[in-house]
Amino acid sequence: MEKLLDMAIRESNAAEVYAADMQADGVSFEDARLKDIESRMQSGISLRILKNGVQGFAYTRNLRSREELIRNALESLKGGVEGAFEFPFTTGLSSLETYDPSIGNLRNEAMVEECARVCDLFSQKTTAQINVSAHRSVGSMRIINSSGTDLSLQTSAYGFQPGLLYPYTSASLYRTFRAKTFQTLPEEYLNFLSETYTKSAREVIPVSKPLKVIFLPETVYVLMWRLQTATSGLSIHQNISPLADRTGEKIFSDLVSVYNDPLNDTLPGARAFDDEGLPCSRFPVIENGVLRNYYYDLYFAHKMRTRPAGHGFKGSVSGKPAPSLRHLTMIPGGSSFADMVRSVDLGIIIAGALGAHSGNIPHGDFSIGVSPALCIEKGEITGNVKDVMIAGNIYDTMQHVIAVENRLHPSSGGNFPALLAENVHVTIKK
């Protein structure tokens, strides 16, 4: 990497070399039977250069020729992508525990045994089709640049996802478990899924009208996706965000606080620096319903004449960094999930989302199918409901949040509690 950087500097004003590799193994069970065992490896090196205010980029999986990679980066300068920013000099970062060496002893056989154990326990508690999966991954990455930054990271992750499938549907009730190394699935996961499934096993048809709605943590990403898009420096710069020039304004219920916390190394994926070598920090987005910040990578921070705060991340080694919130967290509230259910006279639990991309995402609109949708009547889960859709705008929905669960759950897009909202438009096909 050092030789590549030295060669690139001779051809440009500034350069950055980024390298990453990952190894992953996974097993999956369908209908309580082993379906698949998969192993994969990925690696690559990317080069970013700045020359005369223009940005160049090239990527390779195998560094067979440094000269060719540099030529490709120089050739990409013809695209005229602005690169008037500077690569950072970063040193002295706090140390995070991002890697657990015990994961190196984890074999596929152990994950198969854990999946089989969970399937056996569920089969004693429910009549559902049982689908489970487990995976582990280890990775490393390094960034060096012409400003003197030299940062590296080693990561480990273990994940387990059990699901209970409703009869004659593709709707599954599931929950995700994550850690930095192998752990047996906690009893509370088993109990939540088996008990909730049992209560909701029969099909019911409630009245279709504005109902109270509980978003399970697994579906909160539908709302957060729109918030992330609206607060991104890209959206602010392109003038497609409804939140432009609204920092300090109350846009959500005061029960809702959302922040990005990459320094929390109790879970896998913690980061002390982003993919551009900038330090990460605990970053408030919403505090008690009030919009606090937008987030930027180096490119859009320069365009908007503001300071970046460590939010430049790659989707893969083969791509350039872009503004991203990879570690979203919502501050827990004061209600247990059971208390939230008991408080609802008539409502729907959003346990799965279909078509989460539907609607004008930058403006906060959503129109999604709910699968599964669970019915609440007089404070009890009474069944599941087919052919349910909800629609609205997050800036209205999140104003009507009336309860936030008192604990967090690893979910798609971050760590979230369940949310209870009123006056949500629900459509149920008769």
Residue 210's pLDDT is what?
59
Residue 412's pLDDT is what?
87
Angstrom distance (rounded) from CA 331 to CA 251? 16
Both structure tokens of 292: 């606090």
For residue 172, the cross-strand partners are 165
Instruction: Name, in order, each residue with C-beta under 8 angstroms of 222's C-beta and a sequence gap of 6 or more.
Output: 215, 353, 356, 366, 368
| Nearest residue to 55 (alpha-carbon basis) of 31, 78, 25, 36 | 78
- pTM over 0.95? The answer is no
Residue 168's pLDDT is what?
85
Residue 240's pLDDT is what?
95
CA quadruple 55, 275, 43, 134: dihedral positive or negative? negative
Per-residue pLDDT of the chain (430 residues; tens, 9 = 90+): 999 999 999 999 999 999 999 999 999 999 999 999 999 999 999 999 999 999 999 999 988 899 999 999 999 999 999 999 999 999 989 899 999 999 989 999 999 999 999 999 999 999 999 999 999 999 999 999 999 999 999 999 999 999 999 988 889 999 999 999 999 999 999 999 999 999 999 998 876 665 899 999 999 999 999 999 999 999 999 999 999 999 999 999 999 999 999 999 999 999 999 999 999 999 999 999 999 999 999 999 999 999 998 999 999 999 999 999 999 999 999 999 999 999 999 999 999 999 888 889 999 999 999 999 999 999 999 999 998 999 999 999 999 999 999 999 999 889 999 999 998 888 887 6
Residue 25's pLDDT is what?
96
Phi, psi of 420 (to 5 degrees): -110, 120
Phi, psi of 18 (to 5 degrees): -125, 125
Domains annotated on the chain, with CATH: 2-193 (3.30.2290.10), 200-430 (no CATH)
Q: Is 318 left (phi over 0), alpha (psi -120 to 50) or beta?
A: alpha
For residue 135, the cross-strand partners are 26, 159
